[in-house]
Amino acid sequence: MALVPSDPIGGGGGVIAELNMVGGGADIAHVDVGADADADADYSPTLTMRSMRRRRVMIRASVVQASTVFYDTPATLDKAERLIAEAAANGSHLVVFPEAFIGGYPRGSDFGVAIGSRHPKGREDFRKYHASAIQLDPPPHAHAPAPPQLQRLSAMAAKYKVYLVMGVVEKDGYTLYCTVVFFDSQGNYLGKHRKLMPTAMERVIWGFGDGSTIPVFHTPLAKIGALICWENRMPLLRTAVYAKGVEIYCAPTADARETWQSSMTHIALEGGCFVLSANQFCRRKDYPPPPDYTFAGGLELHPDSVVCAGGSVIISPLGTVLAGPNYQGEALITADLDMGDIARAKFDFDVVGHYSRPDVLSLIVKDHPATPVSFTSSSSTAPNTL
């Protein structure tokens, strides 16, 4: 049965017709998405007895292509919930959002930076951007509940019974990180990945992740991981994710160029995994008007000018485009993933298995947290006697 590759947001349900049979009459296996998930642990999908005979497991996944409500995190969270609800109504088990969806990708802004100087307006822009970011961890030594925005995202995943992969701007004190957070369909917060290498001007506003947040979560749905934007062009980092067994490789991005599609196809073939890439579709009017938000060089655009054209896509382990790319507007890009395609793809190419040569080439990943200051338990609580 052919799938509708994308559906404009707000277009109602029915993005894909009810799917009862798949190629040759094989039954779709029912995946138990309510069980617990562990990072880098084994899993076993729960199938009906009938479907076990056919061994055809189908997962419906949606990639969100939509814009942030810039400088308004509560409104962005409300928008995210509407999109998750629509994806769930279409039967999706997994919903993937773009890079920096919560907090916003500050496209075109220079934060008043030039070599050797910073402008006061840029400092104020950063203050507002920092205020829009969300906290993921309670303060050290504080016996406090999870931060409210994290609780809200958790509640969305639980309410709509979906696995959720969400791009956020994370604040840790006064340092910001481009981060992806993961939730299971019970609303459990599985963990996060911080962008290891911000690109170009992103390094002015975002810190650098370390090797402690390169997870692949082994869930009843699938083994799920994510790399962000141009991290996906780092072959050693990709290899680390492949080595953890990723099956559904999420690639939130801000790159809307056609060349991005080539990268996504290559990764699907190289890793023998499904690739789900989510990007925002933004017009100038989706950002605050000047002077609250200005583009570098004083460039002012027509309110309907497209500043990020999307291109969200879903690709199979065999390199087949299952849905997208979409460059037309905000959309839900949805496809059914035949998990048997992973074995079919790795039959003749398993990059960290039978097609590897560890006797010649190997990779070491430093997966411990990198902190600038370490305290012993006694000195961290000792009074300052200076």
CATH value at residue 148:
3.60.110.10
Count Cβ atoms below 10 Å from residue 187 Cβ, excluding itself.
Answer: 18
In this structure, is residue 360 part of a structural domain? no
Q: Which one is catalytic: 18, 81, 99, 202?
A: 99
* Residue 99: active-site member: yes
Q: What's the pLDDT score for residue 127?
A: 94
Q: Using the 8-state DSSP alphabet, how is residue 372 labeled?
A: S
Q: What's the pLDDT score for residue 173?
A: 93
In this structure, is residue 73 part of a structural domain? yes
Q: What's the pLDDT score for residue 377?
A: 74
Q: What's the pLDDT score for residue 91?
A: 96
In this structure, is residue 357 part of a structural domain? no
Q: What's the pLDDT score for residue 297?
A: 74
Under a CB-based contact definition with an 8 Å cutoff, are residues 62 and 92 in contact? yes
Under a CB-based contact definition with an 8 Å cutoff, are residues 38 and 363 in contact? no
In this structure, is residue 359 part of a structural domain? no
In this structure, is residue 205 part of a structural domain? yes
Segments forming the whole domain that contains residue 152: 6-346
From first to last of the 386 residues of the chain, give the pLDDT tens digit: 333 334 444 443 333 322 222 333 333 344 554 555 565 544 333 444 344 345 568 999 999 999 999 999 999 999 999 999 999 999 999 999 999 999 999 998 888 888 888 888 889 989 999 999 999 987 665 577 889 999 999 999 999 999 999 999 999 999 999 999 999 999 999 999 999 999 999 999 999 999 999 999 999 999 999 999 999 999 999 999 999 999 999 999 999 999 999 999 999 999 999 999 999 999 999 999 988 888 887 778 889 999 999 999 999 999 999 999 999 999 999 999 999 999 999 999 899 999 899 999 999 999 999 888 888 875 554 444 44
Distance CA 84, CA 157 (A): 8
3-state secondary structure of 114: strand
Q: Rounded to whole angstroms, what are the CA distances from 5 to 61, 62, 147, 315, 321?
A: 12, 10, 36, 11, 9
Total structural domains within the chain:
1
In this structure, is residue 214 part of a structural domain? yes
Cis peptide before 290 (omega within 30 of 0): no
In this structure, is residue 378 part of a structural domain? no
Distance CA 320, CA 301 (A): 37
In this structure, is residue 37 part of a structural domain? yes
